[in-house]
Structure 1
């Protein structure tokens, strides 16, 4: 069985800051991590490999050269190999252009049974790339996967909804996007870390994957971020004083009348 996992290196949102003058992210000193939902996607692929040892798990990402570190982490967790799509021609791609590049990279990898991806990336929260890849590859897709089971003639999954779930049966090849409820990602192993240190990450440029340059990059992206900003902090709240609920209610009414609100 062949499984491909789409991952992304993202800035740690706990450390994110925005320059108030330019409206851009301040990346200096901000650590980069494996996107959390992608970690769940990789974990599910590795669980299939645990059940069927002849399974191979390939990880693919698009990003700058430093994304190599994140791919090494994926190998240390148990992936067999990793591919980095890195080229200035791909820079500035929105979700549509990104999915064009990733689907071209997946086609170069060759045949596959499943493609796993995270539901969405924490630096964009669009949840668009996984479904777009499925459309461009012409395969079935199930998003928001919270439970996964291999069955005789396909895959049985639970797809999370706002008020419940859907129980769906899907045939391979297919694209599945994972949410955090699907599993708990494993840690890197000592054996895996040693393997990652010796393994060379494949780096492909736009020419290597044969992607149409008019469909990738900033100029080809129909979506552009006009401005990013952090909300202004709200003023301090007022605590209504009083020893009993009745006193607090009376004091609240007096304050509202004083401000001519009522």
Structure 2
């Protein structure tokens, strides 16, 4: 069985995040693997580990793929530490500023290229990227590949080339199934990502990370990047400074002071 896990390198959520020239500034020193993608890696590893190893069965493999500059190697090496077998980074100046559609086109092209080596059975993603929270890439990728999609899975079960999931919707659970190959996204409650062991941590430091360009994937630069983006950031500004805190010594008038504050600021 062969599984591709899609990863994203995101700015640390506690860092000073900002825009420049309509794009998020990504400082390698304060970036990391998208936390929700760790659930996708864990789901892939568990599915692989549950597969029987037979003489006629090609080696099971989990491949981590990201579309990002070289700084994203931090994310790929974290995936290696968890047990991923192979890492691929799609990097090209032509891809800079890509929106969801451009990024999806690059990811789909990478999956197709991997499929030319040996068929890909499943693509797994996290439920969202913490820098954008769009949660649309799994659906866009399924459409691009022409594969069924099973999204926001809470539980995942694989049997006889059929993937079955459950997911929460309001006050109920849905059970969905689809044949492989398919695109799957898992929630942050689907599993608990494993802690890397020392052996994998050391091995991850020197493991090869493959770098593919847009040309390697047959992508037309006109279809990706900032020029092809369907949404554009026209203006960005930092949050206004927080107003001074108003302290009131309560001598029996605290309730009255609070009411006056709410009325003065049109909050009631």
TM norm structure 2: 0.84
Change (3 A) 1:251 1:227: closer
> Which position in structure 1 is the counterpart of 2:15?
15
Match of 1:104 among 104, 109, 118: 109
- Greater Cα offset, 143-152 or 42-51: 143-152
> Which position in structure 2 is the counterpart of 1:236?
245
Where structure 2 has 5 or more consecutive residues not aligned to the other structure, the ranges are: 54-58
Contact kept, 8 Å, 1:15 with 1:30, in 2: the verdict is no
- 1:17 positional shift: 3.3
Change (3 A) 1:151 1:234: farther
Match of 2:97 among 79, 92, 117: 92
1:31-110 to structure 2, matched below 5 A, reads 31-52=30-51, 54-110=59-115
1:171-250 to structure 2, matched below 5 A, reads 171-232=179-240, 233-234=242-243, 236=245, 241=250
Give the whole-Å Cα distance in 1 for the aligned partners of 2:144 and 2:153.
Answer: 20
- 1:184 positional shift: 1.1
Cα deviation 1:37-57 (Å, max 9, x = unaligned): 111101100111221264210
- 1:186 positional shift: 1.2
Where structure 1 has 5 or more consecutive residues not aligned to the other structure, the ranges are: none
Cα deviation 1:102-145 (Å, max 9, x = unaligned): 10011000121110011211111111112111100000001111
Contact kept, 8 Å, 1:23 with 1:229, in 2: the verdict is no
TM norm structure 1: 0.86
Determine helix, strand or coil for the equivalent of 1:124: coil
Contact kept, 8 Å, 2:167 with 2:175, in 1: the verdict is yes
Give the whole-Å Cα distance in 1 for the aligned partners of 2:72 and 2:256.
Answer: 60
Change (3 A) 1:194 1:15: same
Give the whole-Å Cα distance in 1 for the aligned partners of 2:66 and 2:139.
Answer: 16
Change (3 A) 1:94 1:169: same
Cα deviation 1:192-247 (Å, max 9, x = unaligned): 1233233211100011111122211111111112233444325536769477xxx8
Contact kept, 8 Å, 2:22 with 2:233, in 1: the verdict is no
Determine helix, strand or coil for the equivalent of 1:175: strand
> Which position in structure 2 is the counterpart of 1:168?
176
Determine helix, strand or coil for the equivalent of 2:216: helix
Contact kept, 8 Å, 1:5 with 1:117, in 2: the verdict is yes
* CA RMSD of superposed structures (Å): 2.8
Determine helix, strand or coil for the equivalent of 1:184: coil
